[in-house]
Amino acid sequence: RITILPHGSLRILNASKSDEGRYLCQGVNVFGSAEIIASISVKEPTRIELTPKKIELTVGESIVLSCKALHDSTLDVTFNWTLNGQPIDFEKEGGHFESIKAQASSADLMIRNILLMHAGRYGCRVQTAADTVSDETELLVRGPPGPPGVVIVEEITDTTATLSWSPGADNHSPISLYNLQARSPFSLGWQSVRTVPDQISGDMESAMAVELNPWVEYEFRVVAMNKIGTGDPSAPSRVIRTNEAVPKTPPANVSGRSGRRHELVIAWEPVSEEFQSGEGFGYIVAFRPNGTRGWKEKMVTSSDASKFIYRDESVPPLTPFEVKVGVYNNKGDGPFSPIVVICSAEGEPTAAPIDVKATSLSVSEILVAWKHIKESLGRPQGFEVGYWKDIEKEEAAEKVKTEGNESSILLTGLEGNTLYHLTVRAYNAAGYGPPSTAVHAATKKSPPSQAPGNIMWIQDGSHVSLGWEPVRPLANESDVMGYKVLFRQEGQSNSQVIETEKTSAVVLLPDVGVYIIEVCAVSEGGDGTVSPQIRVPSFSGGKVTSAQSTLHVLSTSSSSVTLLLALMVPLASW
């Protein structure tokens, strides 16, 4: 068990506690001797237990691997975790891994929300100053299947496509079913399609997609399923177009539309390109007077068409017709829509409005009113008013419309002091009726541009006596009819108004606070320019004494003195 080797080393096999102690090695020759001393401590061997030994989990589950070490109590231990021989980087694994060390002699590995990529051999290595030991466990992860292989289109008809594919990874859970999906320019993304067989079992690698639309481009893909879930889809197949066929979808919502007299207007919803089934698509419009036998048929060659107009001077208004619309393409004629009854057009209005009147209301407004003769045919849906300046031609007229049975309209935004010509005509979906005889109206002159000047006021308590010079309008402005005094409490937006024909007024300030007062002229063209604001405080406690009354003047011209004397008269009566 104990051997001195040829070069002088000492080998001890199966060391035990009895071998502990101080060992002396001495060398001797003719010149003398030398020695060294070695101290040996014998420790208990480290053993580890890694549990569980083999695990099978499903994607999304979590597990804790436990690693316990039995070691000499005088030694410290360190734990390291590996996956397939590589150290686990806990900071780069997206929170899936966590190392938990609750005791000095054990360590746990928490694996949360397991993914397929986490399958493999997990190792726990324990190291002391005396030895290193390790153990491994196998983790198998079951999950939804991987994507199937390339999808190949084997055969195409007008409504079917035969497809094949190769299976993908089953991820430790057998594939139970396949789902076949298709995408076209008309679909909202990928959609499941009907197949033969109806259910594609997991051991199959081909199937037929059925009930496809003719002459449509399709892509196909396959999705595998197992008891864990649905896997990722395969890559799309190449784009293929199904074969042409006779169209099978007639237009929907065949109906009548308004038109001119002697017209039969037939409308429908165009058939989507998805259901046209081939090139050369168009419509066959068939119609006949109600109660007759033979059909008249007209071809409409545009696939986007949604209307056909048949005109015959011998057709009275509101004559009922039986109508149907069919489809065709290069492969042949398709079905007709159900027969509906549609009446020929009522026609546009034939009578012009009467008693048209135009009244000027302000510098920018004219009120237009009229009457309309009731008609059995060509009933109006509204009226159109055209208006133009005297210096313009009627072709330049601006137009506004009313709807329903309204018999007046207020024109706004007009130019001041301007003569306008106006006409009124009825309209409906078929067109416009004749215009009325033109009437005329001139907008009012503009309001005075001058603001009331030389404003003076005397305050006695909550009463304020105001006076100002009269406003003298220019030649192109409206005459002054009176004045407005506007006052409001500071901070408020709505003003109270006093109207007067004089150049003076008395304002009662009802509440305590600061009031803002303004004055403007009033004319038939509207309100004139507002004077500069006057700020007047209203005091509590009633009327102030005459000694407290104060004269306020906005101008120092000689005319202000005369105005002051006029203002003193009402103050003396208080």
Quick one: 539 exposed, middle or buried, by C-beta within 10 A (0-12, 13-18, 19+)? middle
Q: Which amino acid is at 351?
A: A
The CA–CA distances, whole Å, from 41 to 1, 35, 38, 228, 423 equal 17, 20, 10, 56, 122
Phi-psi region of 209 (alpha: psi -120 to 50; beta: other; left: phi over 0): beta
- pTM (2 decimals)? 0.59
The CA distance from 510 to 461, in Å, is 11
CA angle 236, 242, 243 (to 5 degrees): 160
Percent of the chain's residues with pLDDT above 70? 94
pLDDT for residue 129:
87
Region(s) of the chain under CATH 2.60.40.10: 47-142, 152-242, 252-344, 354-443, 453-545
- Given a cut of 90, whether residue 261 has pLDDT beyond it is no
Q: How far apart are CA 433 and CA 383, in angstroms?
A: 9
Instruction: Supply the DSSP symbol for 559.
Output: H
CATH number belonging to the domain at 453-545, selected among 3.40.50.2300, 2.60.40.10, 3.20.20.370, 3.30.420.40: 2.60.40.10
CATH number for the domain formed by residue range(s) 152-242: 2.60.40.10
468-523 per-position pLDDT tens digit: 999 999 988 888 999 999 999 988 888 999 999 999 999 998 888 899 999 999 99
Burial class (CB in 10 A: 0-12, 13-18, 19+), 502: exposed
Mention every residue, 6+ apart, whose C-beta is less than 8 A from residue 369.
Answer: 355, 356, 357, 359, 407, 408
pLDDT at 526 over 90: no
The yes-or-no verdict on residue 7 having pLDDT over 50 is yes
For the chain, what is the mean pLDDT? Answer: 89
How far is 169 from 181, CA to CA, in rounded Å?
19
Q: What is the pLDDT of residues 330-382, one digit of tens each?
A: 999 999 999 999 999 887 888 899 999 999 998 899 999 999 888 766 788 89
CATH 3.20.20.80 for the 47-142 domain, yes or no: no
- Best mean pLDDT range from 94-108, 505-519, 543-557: 505-519
Give the pLDDT score at 557.
Answer: 42
Q: Which of 342, 334, 281, 332 is nearest to 310 (CA)?
A: 342
pLDDT one-digit tens code per residue, 508-522: 988 888 999 999 999
CATH of domain 252-344: 2.60.40.10
pLDDT at site 574: 33
Distance CA 468, CA 428 (A): 57
Distance CA 243, CA 23 (A): 97
> What's the CATH number for 354-443?
2.60.40.10
